[in-house]
Structure formats: structure tokens, C-alpha cells
Amino acid sequence: MEKQDAVKYLIYLLRTYDGVTRMITATKNRLHAINPDADVGHQVEIKAMESQQGNLSRRIGKELDVFPIWTDWMQQIPGCGPYVAGNLIQMYYFKQVAICKKCGADLNAEFTCTGCGTASKGGGILATRIEDRDFPTISKWWAFMGRGIDAETGKMPKRSKGQKSNWSSRGRVVTFQLGDQFNRQKEDHPYKAFLLERRKRHLKTHPGASKGYNLNMSKHETIKLFLAHMWTVARFMDGKPVSRPYAGTIMGHTGIVEPFFFDHKISYVEDRVAA
């Protein structure tokens, strides 16, 4: 299978997993609407869908076996399963470009062909081309995943009505799920330990904030650390220059927090920093 077809098939599995997840949630909600006391875990239809969800997760894992960042790193991290890893790998390495079904030229923002002028909006599922993606700095990777800083507010960016976001809403959701998974791990899990350390600090620096707010801040910083680690490992594996992150980038630590679950020594470019 060629790369174009392989990546498209991975995306197909990921989106199908999403569809099954939405169906499970909707089915549970419908059941609770007619019987609030229903034990949804024992419903035949829900168990069948959850079984299919597990099957899809295993199939996604098999498709990821061609990516060293999965086999040699992410697969070793409890909480970073095939679905989350598959989305992160797809978003880091590849992008889908909408193209015209007639002539193959790119579509513009209004989904009109830049070649033959055919309008594709409303014409069903769009045809796409897979292109490689690259993030030269950690900050650009953070920004794309919706984990950067809005220059005007100094906080994470939010979606604005009528405006197209310059960050991935899917990336925000997937990393939220990853942060939730890390929070469920045991305390000796390094990402959970980092989360707890950040939460302890926030309880001191923001004593008036709610526990939920401090936990969300801690999750966000743990996610940023993981994304920084993913960027570092990916660049190292791809033979690309890895710039040494400036300490303040990793939430005030005095030194670099090296990627967890990775045994290789990273060679950094000493005369450049990733802000």
C-alpha cells in the first residue's frame, strides 16, 4: 500500500472510531431518557458497539506499526493508546488538502477549484491529497494543537463565531483526552507525577482558585510537556535538528525535562533555542 492510501486508511479508521464513540454516547443517552436507572453496561447493543470500538483500536495499532515513534516510544507510554497516538501522529506528520474531483487542482477557501472553477461545496465527500507536514519549532506544534498562547489574551486561544481558527480543534480535543488518561494513571507514572507536581504548585500560587481549575491548569501543562517530548522524539528519529528548549518554555523548570520512556540520548543544537 502506498503512503497516500496508507495514511487515508489510517484516517478512515480514526474517523470510524469517532463515529462508533458518538453512537455509543447517543445510545446511552437515549436509554437513560426512557429509563434513568438502566444499567447501560449490560445492554447487548452497547456491549456490541464497545466490542467494535476495541476492534477498531487494535486495527489502528496495527496501522501504526510502520511508525517508529509509535513502536519505539508512544506504545510504551501507559495512557497513550492507539486512538490518541494515531491522531497525534497523523496530525504531526500529515495534512489533507482538498482537491477537485474533476481535474485534481486544489480547492480554495470557498471549496471552488483553483484550476477549472468547479464548485465542490455541497457535492458530497471531498477528494483529498495527503501532504507531509513539518513543525520547525515546539511552539509551532503547540500552536497548531490549540495549546499555544493567544497574543491578545495571554491564554489558550478560543474559537470565535464566524472566524476560522488557526489551530486544530481536533488537536485540542485529542490532547484533552490524553491529559485525562494521564490523570488516571498511578502516581509513579512520570507524566502523572509531573501533573501532581504542577497541581501542588498551583494550589500555592492560586489558593483562591477551585480544585477543578487548578487540575485543568496542571493537565494543560502536562499536555504541553508531552507535546514537547513528541516533537523532540520525532525530530530525533527523523534525523532533523533538535533545538534545545529554553527552560521557561517547559513551565518554569530550571532544566530540560527529557522525554519519558525514551532511552536514546538526544543531541541538541546548542546554539539555537525553540521559543
Computed over every residue of the chain, the mean pLDDT equals 88
pLDDT at 254 over 60: no
What average pLDDT does range 158-185 have in this prediction? 89
Cα separation, 178 vs 218, whole angstroms: 13
Of the listed ranges 34-38, 84-88, 125-129, 263-267, the least confidently predicted one is 125-129
Q: Which residues contact 99 (CB under 8 A, 6 or more apart)?
A: 105, 106, 107, 126, 127, 128, 129
Phi, psi of 245 (to 5 degrees): -65, 140
Highest mean pLDDT: which range of 105-114, 149-158, 199-208, 218-227: 218-227
Q: Give pTM, 2 decimals.
A: 0.88
Instruction: Please write down the long-range contacts of 153-156, taking CB distance under 8 Å and 24 or more positions apart.
Output: 156/220
More confident residue, 96 or 10: 10
% of the chain residues with pLDDT over 90: 63
Q: In the beta sheet, which residues pair with residue 132?
A: 94
pLDDT at 154 over 70: yes
More confident residue, 272 or 235: 235
More confident residue, 257 or 47: 47
| Overall size of the chain counted in residues | 275
pLDDT band of 26, cuts 50, 70, 90: very high
Of the listed ranges 8-12, 114-118, 145-149, the least confidently predicted one is 114-118
pLDDT of residue 8: 93
What average pLDDT does range 41-70 have in this prediction? 95
Phi, psi of 236 (to 5 degrees): -60, -45
Of the listed ranges 67-81, 82-96, 253-267, the least confidently predicted one is 253-267
pLDDT of residue 230: 97
Domain ranges within the chain, ordered by starting residue? 1-95, 134-275
pLDDT of residue 271: 40
Strands 268-274 and 242-245: parallel
